[in-house]
Amino acid sequence: MDAMAVLARTARPVPILPASSPAALRPSASLSFAASSRLRGGVALRAAWEGRVTRSRVSAGRIVASSVEQTYIMIKPDGVQRGLVGEIISRFEKKGFLLKGLKLFQCPKDLAQEHYKDLKDKPFFPKLIDYITSGPVVCMAWEGDGVVASARKLIGATNPLQAEPGTIRGDLAIQTGRNVVHGSDSPDNGKREIGKFCNSPVRCLSALQPILLQHNMHTFFFRLSW
C-alpha cells in the first residue's frame, strides 16, 4: 500500500470550528508572544524617538532664548551723504536681523565726545568729533541671535583697506576716517548706546530740510519696541 494512503487513513481529522468560536479567534501562544513583542518594541522605539525630538526642541528653545541680543548700528555722516542708507540696511535685513528702531539724528558735540571717550587721548580725537557732528547720522537698533558679533563681521575691519570683500567697509569705503558705519562691540555696549542715541531728543540742522521735505516729514523715528 502506498505510504501516503496509509498516513491519510491513520491521521486524526482536524476539527473545523465555527468562525464565532473563541478557540477559532484566539491566536496561538507563540504568535501572541511574537506580536506582543513587536508591538512593545515599536511603542518603545516611537517613545524614544519622540522623547529625543522633544528634548531637541527644548534645547533649541533654550539656545534661541539665551542668544537673542540687541546692537546699536550707526550710519555715519559720509554714509548718509553718499546715499548708502538703504544699501546698509538691506545687508542686515538679508542676514535675517530685526530692525527694532531707526532715527535720523544730528549728533551734538557733547554726545559725540561721550560716545568716543575711550579715544580721547588719541591725536585724531578732535577730527573724529568734527566728522561725526558734520552731518546727520542714522541711528538703528537691531535684534537677533548673536547679532553683536555677526554685525561686526558684516561691517568689517576698522580700516576699509583691510576689510574683507563682501563686508560693508570692504565694499563701500576706502579710508579709516570715512568708514561709513559704526557697530557696538559687545551686548552691554549695545544696550548703552541704544539708550544714549535712540532715546535722545532729535536735533536737525537746516541742511536737513530739503531731505525732510522731499520725504514729506520733519523728522522720522520708527520705534517698534525697546
- Catalytically active residues, by annotation: 182
DSSP state of 206: G
Q: Is 199 annotated as a binding residue?
A: no
Opening angle at CA 187, ends 88 and 171, nearest 5: 25
List the grid coordinates of 190: 549695545
Identify whether the C-beta of residue 152 lies closer than 8 Å to the C-beta of residue 185: yes
Residue listed under C-alpha cell 508572544 = 33
Q: Is 179 annotated as a binding residue?
A: yes
C-alpha cell of residue 91 = 545687508
Q: How many whole angstroms separate alpha carbon 203 and alpha carbon 200?
A: 9
Q: Is 152 labelled as part of a ligand binding site?
A: yes
169 is in an annotated binding site: yes
Output the CA angle 132-137-138, nearest 5 degrees. Answer: 145
Annotated binding site for ATP: 76, 124, 152, 158, 169, 179
